Chain A
Amino acid sequence: MSSKNIKTISNPKLKLEVLTQDDVKKIHEATLQIIEKVGVRFPSKRALEIWAANGADVDYEKKIVRVKPQIIEDAIKKAPPAYKLAARDPQQDLQLDGNHVNLGTDGCGVEILDIHTGEKRTSCLQDVRDIARVADATEEVAFHWVSLSAQDTPAESRGLHELKAVWENSTKHVQTESVYNVEEAKAAIEMAALIVGGRDKLRERPVLSLMQCTAPPLGHDGGSLDAALLAAEVGIPTGFMTMAACATTGPITLAGNLAVGNAEVIAGTALLQLAFPGAPVFYAAAQTASDLRNGSYTGGGPEDFLFGAATNILADFYNIPLSMGAFATGAKEPNWQAGLEGGLSSFMASVAMSDMLLGCGFLHGSRIWSYAEMMMDCEIFSIVHKMMQGIEVNEETLAMDSIAAVGPGGHYLGQKHTRKHMRELFMPQFMDRRPYSEWETKKDDARDWALAKARKTLKEHQPDALDANISKEMERIIKSVEKK
């Protein structure tokens, strides 16, 4: 099943298993041991009470819970293996069923390379609107992660202004990582309910999903937990994302880092299942390594690529969908490093069939938005999409008639078989295959064309508008959480 004007990877022909079933078993056993012996921090009264009521050993002072493996394993089994992310336009609903890779925009950045001037500046609400509109038009982007922080809105309602901005500028599904306290979560649920005609409809049509970051190593944020519990209660898909980084927030070795991240995600997921059995949940990860010289989040590099391919094997083991971080780069401009890191990370996460792929558009460790980078990331996704179709071998594709007709020498340009299949070849938008002399006249490249496409899209694309009454009602909800 495909969604209207959305390109997703499905029915993959390529396969790569970076972890054997035995490796997965070892990581799983290590994870259970970590949760039982070392414990995971849950700094939320509500979360601690749920754990205590379900037989966990709760240290209320340190807010650390230690849980027997059986409790975790039984809880995880209650999570639904497949469900859909609903869109404002039902024809753009997305399947999280293990057979679709859906690309999202990256999110939570703080600066942007201005689409007109190219200058780097602090992000604002208008940027959230503009990016949503460009992403709405792009077939590669299947859903939105709230791209940038709307820093010109009040801190206490910022996550809500951002959601409204995306819904008003796109009909696609919206996921936010910027709603991490009870007040905003309640308001966000109310806002989502307006779109689908009531809270009770959200379970059937979740037009919003929530991503909560863990606090590695082995911790969660209190506000995030409370927000996640509220969302899970009404059937809004919720995931915990670990970004455990080798050497700083996780062990230096890749297997150890996977185990620590897994313990955070699995413990959080089990909590939601204990509270609301059957609630739609997903695994989320963007593990990385730390740079050994400055301690920074590398966002890219071979370790990240391996994590990208390994994590869906873990998520599959627990039989829940995965949202995987890809396209991260430390590059400061759309350049060799950005292309390399985007290409390899998205390929590795896609070949493992991660259900959600986050996300296109960022530079400098997911801090600076670039429209050119966004468009070029989309092209990378299209290339991976094409590669995942593999090589079809049958009578028609072996082209025996054509080969006989051309014979030794000659060419295939005049063959009907060529004409019939030519549009199956990948046609790039941003790759330079021109004669040298033609390039020499302008010396332009992918970055120029990608930016031009974004500018044109922003100018011309008009998404289906959100009902004005719903907008108004959303405005009222936002106002109600703002400080007087």
Chain B
Amino acid sequence: MSEELLKEMAQSIIDGDSDISAELAKKSIELKMHPLDAITNGFVVGVTYIGDQFGKGDAFLPELVMAGEAMKAAIAVLEPELLKLGETREMLGRVVLATVEGDIHEIGKTLVGTMLSASGFEVIDLGVDQSAEKIIGKALEVNANLIGMSALLTTTMVRQREVIEELDKEGLRPRIKVMVGGAPITKDWVDKIKADGYSEDAIGAVKVAKELLGKSDQ
């Protein structure tokens, strides 16, 4: 029975069906399955499968995003149960994401958030038009290991530097790493503002985040 349920869980992620994944998570609680068992041996199996298929070029970005969302829906059901047991899921790191002040473009940043959380990071997405003060304040509040900042305009990407300068002034690096992204972001810019890393797409961002936090093997 539980074997079959685990398989269905993996399949719900592969199908990217949030309704079914949440339903199966509830069912596992009713059946007294340990939440970590459901996550690790059920849902994560689906995420890994889609990730592998994507790597081979057989799955596409919408499937990855929907798998990520189905995973999120299942975790939302299981997390309170874990807390009741006094346990927590081991995460790869805690990331604060934001689009910088004066900039309202968010799709790339949101995609990075989805990919990071599907890969086992805890993601706090502040949204768009966020000042250095708010970004750093939130990072300190949640004890983040990583800040990710997006900008689409050459006139707003200068704000990425402001956040980094502020972090340096407060002596918060290297405790908090910084990665940046956005269409106008180039390697030259990243070097100039002394960011720790950057990626040109959301898939690459996961790799960069893992490298920065020393979790490349996971």
Residues on A facing B (Cβ under 8 Å)? 43, 110-111, 121-122, 149, 151, 155-156, 158-159, 178, 215, 219, 221-222, 247-249, 252, 290-297, 365, 367
Contacts and interface: CB of A to CB of B under 8 A. Distances in A.
Instruction: Classify chain B's interface size.
Output: 20 to 34
A215 B104 contact: yes
A215 B105 contact: yes
Contacts of A296: 200-201
Contacts of B60: 292-293
B155 interface: yes
Given A111-B186, A252-B62, 20 more contacts: A43-B104, A110-B184, A110-B186, A122-B186, A155-B156, A155-B158, A156-B155, A158-B155, A215-B104, A215-B105, A247-B61, A247-B62, A248-B107, A249-B107, A290-B61, A293-B57, A294-B204, A295-B61, A295-B202, A367-B183
A466 B61 CA distance: 51
B100 to A, nearest CB: 12
A151 B154 contact: yes
B49 interface: no
Nearest to B203: A294
A149 B105 contact: no
A122 B62 contact: no
A59 B54 CA distance: 41
B111 A295 contact: yes
B188 interface: yes
Contacts of A252: 62
A296 B183 CA distance: 9
Contacts of B104: 43, 215, 219, 221-222
26 contacts: A43-B104, A110-B154, A111-B186, A111-B188, A122-B186, A122-B188, A122-B189, A151-B154, A155-B154, A155-B155, A155-B156, A158-B155, A178-B155, A219-B104, A222-B104, A247-B61, A248-B111, A249-B107, A252-B62, A291-B61, A292-B62, A293-B57, A293-B61, A295-B108, A295-B201, A297-B183
Nearest to B154: A149
A158 B154 contact: yes
Interface in B134-190: 154-156, 158, 183-184, 186, 188-189
B178 to A, nearest CB: 20
Nearest to B106: A215
Contacts of B200: 294, 296
A405 B116 CA distance: 77
Contacts of A155: 154-156, 158
Interface of B: 54, 57, 60-62, 104-105, 107-108, 111, 154-156, 158, 183-184, 186, 188-189, 200-204
A121 B188 contact: yes
Contacts of B155: 155-156, 158-159, 178
B199 to A, nearest CB: 10
Most buried by A among B62, B108, B202: B62
Nearest to A217: B107
A293 B63 CA distance: 10
Contacts of A158: 154-155
Contacts of B203: 294
A455 B189 CA distance: 28
Given A248-B107, A294-B201, A295-B201, A149 B57 contact: no
A476 B186 CA distance: 32
Nearest to B202: A295
A290 B107 CA distance: 12
A149 B62 CA distance: 32
Contact of A294 (B61, B62, B156): B61
Contacts of A219: 104
Contacts of B201: 294-296
* Among B154, B186, B189, B204: residue with most chain A CB under 10 A: B154
B176 to A, nearest CB: 25
Contacts of A122: 186, 188-189
The 3 closest A-B pairs by CB, nearest first: A292-B60, A149-B154, A294-B201
B152 to A, nearest CB: 9
Nearest to A292: B60
A117 to B, nearest CB: 15
A367 B184 contact: yes
A293 to B, nearest CB: 7
A119 to B, nearest CB: 11
A122 B183 CA distance: 14
A115 B8 CA distance: 59
A131 to B, nearest CB: 16
Contacts of A248: 107, 111
Contacts of A292: 60-62
A20 B143 CA distance: 58
A293 B45 CA distance: 21
B114 to A, nearest CB: 10
Nearest to A159: B155
A162 to B, nearest CB: 11
Nearest to B108: A295
Contacts of B158: 155
Contacts of A291: 61
A290 B108 CA distance: 12
A149 B183 CA distance: 13
Nearest to B201: A294
Contacts of B57: 293
B126 to A, nearest CB: 17
Nearest to A247: B62
A390 to B, nearest CB: 39
A39 to B, nearest CB: 17
A221 B188 CA distance: 28
Q: Which of B57, B61, B108 has the most CB of A within 10 A?
A: B61
Nearest to B192: A122
A418 B189 CA distance: 58
A435 B107 CA distance: 52
A43 B57 CA distance: 39
Contacts of B204: 294
Nearest to B63: A292
B207 to A, nearest CB: 12
A158 B102 CA distance: 15
A104 B96 CA distance: 41
Contacts of B54: 293
A294 B155 CA distance: 25
A178 B154 CA distance: 10
